[in-house]
């Protein structure tokens, strides 16, 4: 009574459909290259230079007809997790965006470029990279990164707000006191129809700004041998204290959580300590924003400090065609490529490009005081090399700093708690041991 002649047909249809479904579900999304062609996958952070990266890839394909470039984009928030996840899944891209901040963390995934660099040193103009940059490309004497951009901490200021407040512009040799004095004059509350202005912005949830103060006060995150956290030193605590006092004591920065979104661009903050070179493009593109830079003000320890970091490209350790990836790495860091980036507003990692930019007075995309930028080169300090640097900064130290801003901890307690957490972490996750 239950058997129907069409039933087997129905089940066959179900089976076929399911098989098709599984085929689609399990299909590899990396299509095979055409015969005679090599595919180089390029994992790239989305930045304002995105269109430039696309152009570079197209130009490279034209110059190397047998290589196809496939760019995989990621944003900053996704970047590290995704790369490690791909590594865990044995699907690392051939060439990937990397910086010296991540160097020791990602080193197990990176190819040692030393032999290639040595072989092609003359052709690619290795000596053209500034010595500080060349040092940042390396770890323990081995080269891992080919740089195309860099960041320097600077003092950014809004010229219009300064002149409206009757202040003279910041000079080389400013100190914390000068920042506070100017900040107090610049800060004014909002009135209906006219938003308020804060004298100085404050970066929350990231070490970009407070680390500058810690260093300017003579402190550091780690001891010289890198084996212990030094945030509990009086100098470091003084640096954290200044970061807090900007709002808590001097009132030149917004209370925590009320930092105006994109305050510098919207002209609601008059100064930025630290900042990032990659914002130059959007600063210059904003109508009515008259801005410039100066060497960082110095703190109690008498030097401006600040970070010097590079970003560029690494080749993955498992890349099956390293020569093709190496060609691409050299291509996107050649002088013409660097010049294109600098033309957008950026700091050159190559001396030849920097000097050409300094001579060229028709520039208009960067700050006026370009001399201050290259002077800051002398003060920049590299990020400490520890595989767990980012994790320790974000996960162990930053929450304590956040609580300090909210008034839950004093700077001294913050330093002590952060140091205790980092020291316990390093004892457990000894980089040598794992």
Contact set with other proteins (CB under 8 A): 1-3, 14, 17-18, 21-22, 24-29, 46-48, 72-73, 75-78, 81-82, 84-91, 108-109, 204-205, 256-258, 260-262, 265-266, 279, 281-282, 285-286, 391, 394-396, 398-399, 402-403, 406, 417, 421, 424-425, 427-429, 433-434
Nearest Cα neighbor of 198 from 280, 282, 259, 157 is 259
| Structure tokens given for 166 | 């009757």
Nearer to other proteins, 6 or 362 (CB): 6
**Nearest approach, Cβ of residue 432 and other proteins (Å):** 12
**Nearest approach, Cβ of residue 384 and other proteins (Å):** 18
Rounded to 10 degrees, the C-alpha dihedral 295/298/301/303 comes to 10
Q: Quick one: how far is CA 214 from the chain centroid?
A: 19
Nearer to other proteins, 125 or 195 (CB): 195
User: How far is the C-alpha of 187 from the C-alpha of 268, rounded, in Å?
Assistant: 9
Nearer to other proteins, 175 or 365 (CB): 365
DSSP conformational letter for 251: -
Report, in angstroms and rounded to the nearest whole number, the Rg of the chain calculated over CA atoms.
25
**Nearest approach, Cβ of residue 401 and other proteins (Å):** 9
| Structure tokens given for 374 | 């290259």
Helix, strand, coil shares of the chain, percent, nearest 5, are 45, 15, 40
**Nearest approach, Cβ of residue 119 and other proteins (Å):** 27
**Nearest approach, Cβ of residue 2 and other proteins (Å):** 4
**Nearest approach, Cβ of residue 382 and other proteins (Å):** 23
Max Cα-Cα span within the chain: 98
Nearer to other proteins, 73 or 377 (CB): 73
Nearest Cα neighbor of 107 from 132, 131, 141, 152 is 141
CB atoms within 10 A of CB 98: 28
Yes or no: say if 416 and 232 are a contact pair by the CB < 8 Å rule.
yes
């Amino acid at each position: 009574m239950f058997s129907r002649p069409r039933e087997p047909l129905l089940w066959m249809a179900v089976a076929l459909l399911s098989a098709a479904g599984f085929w689609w579900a399990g299909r590899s999304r990396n299509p095979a290259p055409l015969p005679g062609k090599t595919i180089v996958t390029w994992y790239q952070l989305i930045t304002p230079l995105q269109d430039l990266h696309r152009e570079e890839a197209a130009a490279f394909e034209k110059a190397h007809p047998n290589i196809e470039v496939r760019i995989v984009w990621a944003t900053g928030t996704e970047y590290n997790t995704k790369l490690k996840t791909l590594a865990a899944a044995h699907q690392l891209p051939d060439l990937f965006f990397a910086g010296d901040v991540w160097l020791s963390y990602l080193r197990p995934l990176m190819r040692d470029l030393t032999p290639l660099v040595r072989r092609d040193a003359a052709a690619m103009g290795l000596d053209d990279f500034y010595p500080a940059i060349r040092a940042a490309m390396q770890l323990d004497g081995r080269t891992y990164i080919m740089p195309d951009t860099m960041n320097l901490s600077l003092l950014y200021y809004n010229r219009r707000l300064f002149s409206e407040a009757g202040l003279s512009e910041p000079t080389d040799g400013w100190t914390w006191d000068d920042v506070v004095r100017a900040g107090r004059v610049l800060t004014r509350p909002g009135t209906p129809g006219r938003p308020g202005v804060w004298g100085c912005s404050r970066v929350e949830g990231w070490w970009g700004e407070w680390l500058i103060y810690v260093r300017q006060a003579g402190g550091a995150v780690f001891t010289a041998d890198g084996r212990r956290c030094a945030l509990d030193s009086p100098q470091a605590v003084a640096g954290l204290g200044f970061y807090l006092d900007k709002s808590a004591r001097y009132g030149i920065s917004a209370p925590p959580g009320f930092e105006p979104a994109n305050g510098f661009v919207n002209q609601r903050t008059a100064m930025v300590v630290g900042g990032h070179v990659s914002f130059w493009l959007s600063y210059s593109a904003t109508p009515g924003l008259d801005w410039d830079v100066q060497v960082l003000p110095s703190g109690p320890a008498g030097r401006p400090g600040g970070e010097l970091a590079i970003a560029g490209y690494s080749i993955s350790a498992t890349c099956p065609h390293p020569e093709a990836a190496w060609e691409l790495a050299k291509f996107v860091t050649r002088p013409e490529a660097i010049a294109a980036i600098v033309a957008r507003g950026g700091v050159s990692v190559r001396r030849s490009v920097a000097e050409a930019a300094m001579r060229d007075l028709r520039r208009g995309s960067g700050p006026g005081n370009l001399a201050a930028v290259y002077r800051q080169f002398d003060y920049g300090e590299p990020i400490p090399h520890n595989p767990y640097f980012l994790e320790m900064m974000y996960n162990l130290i930053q929450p304590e700093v956040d609580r300090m801003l909210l008034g839950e901890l004093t700077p001294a307690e913050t330093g002590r708690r952060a140091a205790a957490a980092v020291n316990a972490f390093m004892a457990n996750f000894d980089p040598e041991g794992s």
